């Protein structure tokens, strides 16, 4: 694909496509069609179950004043009224203030903070997003993820940062959350394409194609999805010893649901996976290129040496990247995530500003070129040199990320 063809993909997929929605399905079919056109091979849609909810009513008031909000999906139904409490720190003294309150927190609703709030007697919650420095008053549609709640439901809403600041400035007051919704089970899907090699052992490429509720998801992550299509096109025409499997993951933004479903459904096969190459956010006009290796440190050095040899500016490090590489790494597959990370004042994600305007065709080509050069070496290797054993420091990081252990502060 040339620059124009790559940029056309962003134009073709300039719609919101949240996990489990009809638009996500439409995008999956688009990717499958692209696979056919670019490689002459059929991709399969692999469905998996996801929680769905339709909000019937969501209302948030403070001292009787209505605050624009969106109700949390999958947080059950109910009405609570209680004093509002802003929780900026999670030390025991601050947490003790949650008792009997509707609690407002900064940032994303994580598992540990949610459980801490409930353990300390919170009866409802408020999060806020957007940016007080932007002119818009958009509010993202959030969900109470099942691995955050562990089945402990209290009603919650998401509001805009500007309103959150005003509420805290006024010193809170009596808050009321009314939330009514219908919950059900729906379907999301992964798109899977195989380019068989000379051995059963294979490399798994991943990139998610879903978006969040306000976002066209161009940078995050049609960029990586387009990168995978370019890679599939390339290797459909080039010799490779290892089998190559391409997985466009659904519902990543809902908590890596597509890659978790893939890892569960293909657990046995993953024993034959020698490497995972994951693309999540590439091709931005501004920003630095990184490789995050969930595997042995030698791979970090290998990628850095290779980049130096090819004259490609980047940095590599060991770590757990918050993306579809993680469920695969957790099954013992060494993983590397590639991304071009833009400074936040030049490109943001998970909002209406994530459009093709953040990307450059030339940068897409350059990033895909480097990732392709690395992939080609692994795909044609006499023996993939990356150790299959997950190092202890990475196992520990996976335990933290996947909530099996709590990291000490
Ligand atoms: Zn992403």
- C-alpha 336/C-alpha 300 separation (Å) is 9
CB 244 within 8 A of CB 195: yes
- Ligand 1 center to 313 CA (angstroms): 22
What's the CA-to-centroid distance between 272 and ligand 1, angstroms? 26
CA 395–ligand 1 middle distance (angstroms): 22
Give residue 256 CA to ligand 1 midpoint distance, Å: 9
Measure 384 CA to ligand 1 centroid, in angstroms. Answer: 27
8 A C-beta contact, residue 57 and residue 126: no
Q: Considering the entire predicted model, what is its pTM?
A: 0.96
Domain boundaries for CATH 3.40.630.10 within the chain: 3-51+187-401
Coil, strand or helix at 196:
coil
Q: Residue 405 C-alpha to ligand 1 middle, in angstroms?
A: 24
The architecture CATH gives domain 64-172: 3-Layer(bba) Sandwich (3.50)
User: Tokens in use for 343?
Assistant: 């400074």
Residue pLDDT tens, the chain, 409 long: 999 999 999 999 999 999 999 999 999 999 999 999 999 999 999 999 999 999 999 999 999 999 999 999 999 999 999 999 999 999 999 999 999 999 999 999 999 999 999 999 999 999 999 999 999 999 999 999 999 999 999 999 999 999 999 999 999 899 999 999 999 999 999 999 999 999 999 999 999 999 999 999 999 999 999 999 999 999 999 999 999 999 999 999 999 999 999 999 999 999 999 999 999 999 999 999 999 999 999 999 999 999 999 999 999 999 999 999 999 999 999 999 999 999 999 999 999 999 999 999 999 999 999 999 999 999 999 999 999 999 999 999 999 999 999 998 7
At residue 387's C-alpha, the angle toward residues 385 and 391, to 5°, is 150
- The per-residue pLDDT for 257 is 98
| Chain-centroid distance, C-alpha 75 | 21
- CATH code 3.50.30.30 region(s) in the chain: 64-172
Q: Which residues contact 105 (CB under 8 A, 6 or more apart)?
A: 87, 113, 117, 125, 126, 127
279 CA to centre of ligand 1 in angstroms: 9
Cβ distance 78 to 155 under 8 Å? yes
Distance 114 CA to ligand 1 centre (A): 23
Fold entry, domain 3-51+187-401 = Aminopeptidase (3.40.630)
């Amino acid at each position: 694909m040339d620059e124009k063809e790559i940029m056309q993909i962003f134009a073709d997929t300039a719609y919101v496509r949240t996990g489990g929605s009809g638009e996500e399905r439409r995008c999956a079919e688009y990717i499958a069609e692209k696979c056919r056109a670019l490689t002459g091979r059929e991709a399969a849609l692999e469905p998996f179950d996801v929680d769905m909810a339709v909000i019937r009513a969501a209302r948030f008031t403070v001292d009787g004043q209505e605050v624009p909000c969106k109700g949390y999906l999958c947080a059950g139904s109910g009405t609570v009224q209680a004093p509002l409490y802003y929780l900026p720190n999670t030390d025991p003294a601050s947490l003790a203030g949650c008792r009997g309150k509707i609690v407002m927190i900064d940032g994303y609703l994580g598992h540990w903070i949610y459980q801490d709030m409930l353990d300390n007697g919170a009866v409802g919650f408020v999060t806020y997003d957007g940016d007080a420095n932007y002119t818009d008053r958009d509010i993202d549609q959030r969900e109470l993820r099942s691995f955050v709640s562990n089945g402990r439901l209290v009603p919650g809403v998401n509001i805009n940062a500007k309103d959150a600041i005003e509420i805290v400035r006024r010193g809170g007051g009596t808050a009321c959350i009314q939330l009514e919704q219908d919950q059900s089970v729906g379907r999301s899907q992964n798109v899977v394409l195989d380019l068989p090699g000379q051995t059963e052992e294979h490399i798994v490429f991943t990139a998610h194609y879903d978006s969040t509720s306000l976002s066209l998801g161009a940078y995050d992550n049609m960029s990586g999805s387009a990168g995978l299509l370019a890679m599939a096109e390339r290797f459909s025409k080039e010799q490779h010893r290892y089998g190559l499997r391409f997985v466009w993951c659904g519902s990543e933004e809902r908590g890596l649901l597509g890659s978790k479903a893939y890892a569960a459904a293909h657990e046995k096969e993953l024993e034959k996976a020698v490497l995972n190459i994951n693309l999540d956010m590439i091709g931005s006009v501004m920003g630095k290129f990184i490789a995050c290796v969930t595997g042995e440190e030698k791979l970090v050095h290998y990628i850095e040496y290779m980049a130096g040899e090819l004259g490609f500016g980047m940095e590599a490090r060991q770590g757990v990247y918050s993306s579809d590489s993680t469920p695969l790494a957790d099954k013992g597959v060494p993983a590397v995530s590639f991304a071009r990370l833009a400074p936040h004042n030049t490109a943001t994600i998970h909002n209406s500003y994530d459009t093709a305007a953040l990307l450059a065709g030339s940068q897409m080509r350059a990033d895909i070129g480097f990732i392709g050069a690395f992939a080609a070496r692994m795909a044609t290797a006499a023996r993939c040199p990356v150790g299959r054993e997950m190092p202890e420091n990475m196992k520990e990081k996976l335990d933290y990320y996947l909530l099996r252990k709590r990291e000490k502060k």
